[in-house]
């Protein structure tokens, strides 16, 4: 059993030594632990520091590409390194690396495909009241979109089984955690939650300067995932609302046309006809889009199945 621990880093020379030191050297059930440092265009001494402290595996981005791309490329490289389990942590020592044995245990026991470290954000002292509220709201929306019940879906401390990692196909430029959690849930991966306590803060998040920025960047990912995975729910709901709004003036118009036919084509009632027609027409467009999006979803499932076979072939994975 091989474990690869990925650490995406953008200028983490100060905190990386603490992270590397806290990673367990031996874990029951694991024969080999490899650390993969994903350098996302660091301009400080992150790489030299990592090399000095014994890191052997590097993936370089010559130009900063962001955490989502770092995660995506790192996941694939970890598989190429022969990982049976992949752990993700951060270079700012936010997460308790000493908990990695607990994090991977459900995967070792074949009881999970994905284990997410739940930061228990409601208990974090340095999180403001508004940040906690946004966190709760965001998690609620995401769980609705993913049809899941995950307390901390954007946690960056997680473990993937080999199969779960192969089956993930991240495409978003931002919010990799949101996107891949929705994907894992839709692919019916068994997700286990491990409550963790984050380490004292050594620096502010550089990903998101404020909760607002986080919402602005995550919203398109959640909406897109919702449309991708549940297109009929999305378009049919919109279509149904449009149909109801359109039918009210239309029924009113038809009623007047049948019962008082001289008045029906008067100036006021033509408005009912016009508004009703526009909304009913819009609802048909929404229903048609729902059917087309669902057909595209079916095509994507076939494509993803083919991609899984190609990846397994490339990685020489038997099962
Ligand atoms: N902010 C940021 N972090 C990056 C980037 N690429 C890789 N990282 C790494 O991603 C991890 C998360 O970043 P951090 O600023 O701690 O944001 P957090 O996810 O809100 O805690 C750290 O280990 C960074 O070094 C990037 O383009 N921007
Ligand atoms: Mg962090």
Q: What is the per-residue pLDDT across 59-84, written as a single tens digit (0 to 9) for each? A: 999 999 999 999 999 999 999 999 99
φ/ψ bin of 111: left (φ > 0), alpha (ψ from -120 to 50), beta (otherwise): alpha
**Ligand 1 atom nearest 204 alpha carbon:** 15
Length of the chain: 319
CATH for 115? 3.90.550.10
120 lies in the same domain as 216: yes
The residue contributing the CA closest to ligand 1 atom 24 is 9
H-assigned helices in 57-147: 67-80, 100-108, 129-146
8-state DSSP, 62 = S
Q: What angle do CA 295, 169, 87 make, to 5 degrees?
A: 150
Mean pLDDT, the chain, as a whole number? 92
In terms of domains, do 205 and 240 share one? Answer: no
Up-side HSE of residue 181: CA atoms within 13 Å toward CB? Answer: 33
Residue 160 and residue 42 share a domain: yes
Q: How many independent structural domains does the chain possess? A: 2
Q: Please state the pTM of the whole predicted model.
A: 0.89
Say if residue 205 is in the same domain as residue 284: no
**pLDDT the model gives residue 265:** 66
Mean pLDDT of all residues in 29-45: 97
Ligand 1 mean position, distance from CA 231 (Å): 32
Least confident window among 123-137, 213-227, 298-312: 123-137
241 and 186 together in one domain: no
Residues 312, 314: Cα–Cα separation, whole Å: 5
**What is the 206 CA–ligand 1 centroid distance (Å)?**
6
**Alpha carbon distance 128, 122 (integer Å):** 10
Nearest ligand 1 atom to the CA of 154 is 19
Measure the CA–CA gap between 92 and 199, rounded to whole angstroms.
Answer: 10
Determine the Cα–Cα distance for residues 221 and 202; give it in Å rounded to an integer.
29
206 and 246 within one domain: no
| Pocket lining for ligand 1, CB < 6 angstroms | 8-10, 12, 40, 64, 66-67, 70, 90-92, 94, 156, 205-208
187 and 77 inside one domain: yes
With residue 85 as reference, give the H or E element that holds it: strand 85-88
Quick one: 142 and 254 in the same domain? no
């Amino acid at each position: 059993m091989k474990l690869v621990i990925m650490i995406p880093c953008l200028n983490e020379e100060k905190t990386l030594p603490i992270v590397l030191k806290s990673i367990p050297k031996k874990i029951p059930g694991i024969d080999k632990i490899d650390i993969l440092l994903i350098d996302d265009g660091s301009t400080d001494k992150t790489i030299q520091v990592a090399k000095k402290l014994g890191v052997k595996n590097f993936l370089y981005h010559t130009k900063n590409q962001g955490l989502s791309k770092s995660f995506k490329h790192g996941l694939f490289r970890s598989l190429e390194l022969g990982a049976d389990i992949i752990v993700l942590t951060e270079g700012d020592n936010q997460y308790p690396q000493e908990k990695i044995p607990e994090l991977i245990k459900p995967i070792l026991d074949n009881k999970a495909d994905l284990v997410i470290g739940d930061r228990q954000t409601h208990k974090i002292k340095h999180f403001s009241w508004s940040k906690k509220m946004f966190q709760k709201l965001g998690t609620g929306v995401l769980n609705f979109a993913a049809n899941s019940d995950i307390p901390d879906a954007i946690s960056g401390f997680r473990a993937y089984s080999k199969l779960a990692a192969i089956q993930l196909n991240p495409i978003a430029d931002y919010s990799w955690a949101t996107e891949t959690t929705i994907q894992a849930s839709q692919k019916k991966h068994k997700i286990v939650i491990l409550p963790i306590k984050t380490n004292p803060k050594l620096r502010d998040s550089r990903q998101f300067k404020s909760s607002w920025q986080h919402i602005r960047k995550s919203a398109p990912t959640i909406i897109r995932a919702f449309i991708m995975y549940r297109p009929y729910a999305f378009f049919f709901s919109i279509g149904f609302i449009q149909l109801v709004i359109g039918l009210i003036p239309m029924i009113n118009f038809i009623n007047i046309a049948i019962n008082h036919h001289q008045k029906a084509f008067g100036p006021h009632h033509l408005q009912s006809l016009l508004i009703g027609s526009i909304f009913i027409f819009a609802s048909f467009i929404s229903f048609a889009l729902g059917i087309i999006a669902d057909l595209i979803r079916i095509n994507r499932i076939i494509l993803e199945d083919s991609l899984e076979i190609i990846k397994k072939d490339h990685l020489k994975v038997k099962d």
